[in-house]
């Protein structure tokens, strides 16, 4: 059985979240430029295709916006607008996707210094804004938990691959937690 299906009941209204954490043998200062490179995860994701800064932004700062391109076999291709909500070098970077008043998701990284490197967490929280998932749950509300659990499992695979990509880019070791 898929471990995600054994999670407590997942309901969109509760804005559930998921995350992955790994110990990467590099200091937070070395990891920071990679986690704030909005295009980097596209190298390791089965869904995210890339991003570009908007409104003359050239890098991360609170309030900066970027457009992301995505694609999957269930929904097809789509673009989103994200807004940076946290940019605390070198320990925290996060952004909301969609309408800031009613985001469809929130993503982020947390970097904590540890012996011989950093604990790096990538996390994802569902929002209440309109998305492909809200559309699918609206069509099949009896499958809400299964839909969210499946989405989280795919996102965790992509986030693990992203953390592995960070370690590879730095030429250092990684240990998943």
Whole-number pLDDT of residue 6: 59
Q: What are the residue ranges in the chain where pLDDT is below 70? A: 1-7
Give Cα separations from 17 to 26, 51, 72, 108 (angstroms): 26, 23, 20, 11
d(CA 41, CA 97): 15
| CATH class (in words) of the domain with range 10-176 | alpha beta
Domain boundaries, the chain: 10-176
Indicate the pTM of the whole model: 0.91
């Amino acid at each position: 059985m898929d471990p995600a299906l054994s999670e407590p009941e997942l309901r969109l209204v509760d804005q559930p979240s998921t995350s992955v954490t790994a110990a990467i043998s590099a200091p937070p200062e070395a990891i920071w430029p990679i986690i704030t490179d909005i295009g980097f995860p596209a190298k390791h994701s089965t869904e995210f295709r890339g991003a570009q800064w908007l409104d003359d932004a050239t890098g991360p700062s609170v309030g900066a916006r970027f457009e992301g391109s995505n694609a999957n076999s269930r929904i097809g291709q789509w673009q989103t607008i994200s807004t940076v909500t946290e940019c605390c070098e070198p320990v925290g970077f996060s952004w909301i996707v969609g309408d800031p008043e009613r985001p469809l998701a929130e993503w982020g990284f947390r970097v904590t210094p540890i012996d011989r490197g950093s604990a790096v967490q990538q996390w994802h929280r569902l929002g209440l804004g309109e998305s492909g998932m809200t559309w699918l749950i609206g069509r099949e509300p009896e499958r809400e938990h299964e839909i969210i659990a499946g989405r989280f499992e795919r996102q965790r695979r992509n986030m693990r691959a992203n953390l592995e990509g960070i370690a590879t880019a730095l030429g250092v070791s990684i240990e998943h937690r």
